[in-house]
Amino acid sequence: MKQLTPLHVDEYISSFPEDVQEKLQQLRAIIKKAAPNAEELISYKMPAYKLHGVLVYFAAYKNHIGLYATPTAHSQFKKELSAYKTGKGSVQFPLDKPMPYSLITKIVKYKVQQNLQQVKKKP
């Protein structure tokens, strides 16, 4: 069966069990607070936030929530992320553990500043 792409973030979140929906809604609120001017959309079948380029994506899976903030953000917070399974530009937060919302806030704010610096460098 082909998985349909959700049209908006509410539709994406509502497709998960209630306990996961709560975590996704909190994550969404954290991102929106840290980047209030970011555009919220669905990209690559997951929620995405853009402000002069991509800030972060997130996605829920069976056992974790993935946060995708590009390799530069992950390398900036390598020490804080060391408690989690990570990839080059991804981190997995287990569903059975508390979400590190303050760390996620720092990552999003870092990405906002990074993207704004890139805009300033462009002629």
**Could you give the CA distance from residue 52 to residue 38 in angstroms, rounded to a whole number?**
8
The pair of structure tokens assigned to 64 is 């974790």
Model confidence, pTM: 0.90
Diameter of the chain measured on Cα atoms: 47
Give the chain's domains with CATH numbers. Answer: 9-121 (3.90.1150.200)
Digit-coded pLDDT (tens) for 7-49: 999 999 999 999 999 999 999 999 999 999 999 999 999 999 9
Look over the chain and give the mean of its residue pLDDT values, rounded to a whole number: 92
Look at residue 4 and tell me whether its pLDDT is greater than 60. Answer: yes
